[in-house]
Amino acid sequence: MIVMRKPLSRRTMLRGLGTMMALPFMEAMMPSAKAADIAARPKRLQIFYSPNGMMMENFLPTAQGPGFTLPPTLEPLAPHRDYITVITGLGHPSAAAMGDRPAGHGRSCPAFITGTHVKQTEGTDIRCAISVDQVYANHVGDATQLSSLELGIDQASLLGSCDIGYSCAYTNGISWRSPTVPLPVTANPRDVFERLFGDGDALDEGSRLAQLRRQSSILDFVMDDTARLSGQLGMEDRRKLEEYLEATRDIERRIQKAMASSGGTQVANLERPAGIPESFDDHVRMMIDLQVLAMQADITRVSSFMIGRELSNRTYPEIGVPDSHHMLSHHGGNPEKIAKLSRINRHHMEYFAYYLQRMKETKDGEGSLLDRTLVLRGSAFGDPNEHDHMDLPIVVAGGLVKGDRHLVVEKGTTMSNLLLASLHILGVPEQSFGDSTGPLKALASA
């Protein structure tokens, strides 16, 4: 006699002492192994953003179609070329001045995934438009614990102007819940971890500090529930659960290490929250790993990551670039500055490659997280020296679109056409988006 088990709910949680841990996708959550069930697995959208544009001469492939040679900036993506499509020629007409003051960053950054010309203001009367990630988040609805996750590396600037005549709200983030509500990025890994696995209750300052200083693992609190659940799972699901829990514990260890290392800087630098690593490399990798963990547990299906705030003046001495990123972006044709800027561009692409690798190696059913994810990676400028918003460096990645391609579209084609096509691939039947003229037909589904 065959005993049929009731499928495990995707909303099953591990619980203990105010802690709730979502679970990764497991075979026990599927009613059967039919192809239709596999096709019905969640689709995800992720945005990966780099500030201050790109040296296009080192980004542009020389050939079109499949099998193209990767130029220097894109070489780190070689192991993932079957998952990537490079698109050149796209731009954002809505980022043009249109009579406003000449401040490219303040218009181009908010246009990146909204396709909208923003209101020029330094005050609270900001106005943009809903971003593509939030359109998809609304489509997903309450299927996940968090509608979306906005992550970054740089803390938000203070209120006021960050570009000539433009509020810092336009350059602090790229996601907009509505035309008047920008979504701030979270840069502290500890805050992200608590949001993913905390009980959701507000914490007063005293209890928050006590929680930050706690050395025990969140996994200690759900140990009994983990043992109970393991008894209901098959061998493959138990392996997946163990991998997921180990990834969670690894991030906890790294956060605790960052807290310990930053402890001595708290008095000298009160603006630096506990939990942010001293090392840029550690910080970026930790944020990427948290992003992957959130997708693995289906806590959210929508996220964005800014590896730097627009107008970022970060320096990169670890790769031999002690100069300000933003200042280098205005290179004026200086070969030394161009070389350093290209080095930063490639460095950021190496982190994107790390993200793709983490998504590819994280199982989701019989496939990987990357197989069911659409990833948009780019910057708000092509050549930043010219504030060129009409030739953007765009990479589309993931298993939802055909990879190993370089697509060249007619220059001047609005990027909103790509954003509209992305929504269609994700199953959102929007008729238009931003300043779109129609979906980008060249972006075929896999």
Domain boundaries of the chain, sorted by first residue? 1-35+201-263, 45-187+280-444
| Residue of 26, 1, 16 whose CA lies nearest to 236 | 26
Euclidean distance between CA atoms 233 and 228, whole angstroms: 10
Residue with tokens 């691939």: 425
Token pair listed for 34 = 């039919």
pTM for this prediction: 0.86
Tokens of 77: 């993506």
CATH code given to domain 45-187+280-444: 3.40.720.10
**Which CA distances in Å does 362 have to 118, 230, 303, 306, 438?**
38, 20, 17, 22, 34
Element containing residue 304 per DSSP (H, E): strand 302-306
Radius of gyration, CA atoms only, the chain: 22
Q: Six-digit token pair at 349?
A: 């692409």
pLDDT tens, the chain, 446 aa long:
333 456 666 666 666 655 667 777 667 666 655 544 556 679 999 999 999 999 999 999 999 989 999 999 999 999 999 999 999 999 999 999 998 987 789 999 999 999 999 999 998 899 999 999 999 999 999 888 889 999 999 987 756 688 989 999 999 999 999 999 999 899 999 889 888 876 444 444 444 444 544 545 667 767 776 777 776 777 777 776 777 777 777 777 777 777 666 554 443 333 444 678 889 999 999 999 999 999 998 889 999 999 999 999 999 999 999 999 999 999 999 999 999 999 999 999 999 999 999 999 998 877 899 999 999 999 999 999 999 999 999 999 999 999 999 999 999 999 999 999 999 999 999 999 999 999 999 887 66
What lies within 8 Å, CB to CB, of 408 at 6+ separation is 64, 87, 88, 89
The pLDDT score that the predictor gives to residue 38 is: 58
Burial of 196 (0-12, 13-18, 19+ CB in 10 A): buried
pLDDT at 272: 44
Q: How many residues does the chain have?
A: 446
At 11 the pLDDT is 63
Q: pLDDT at position 206, please?
A: 44
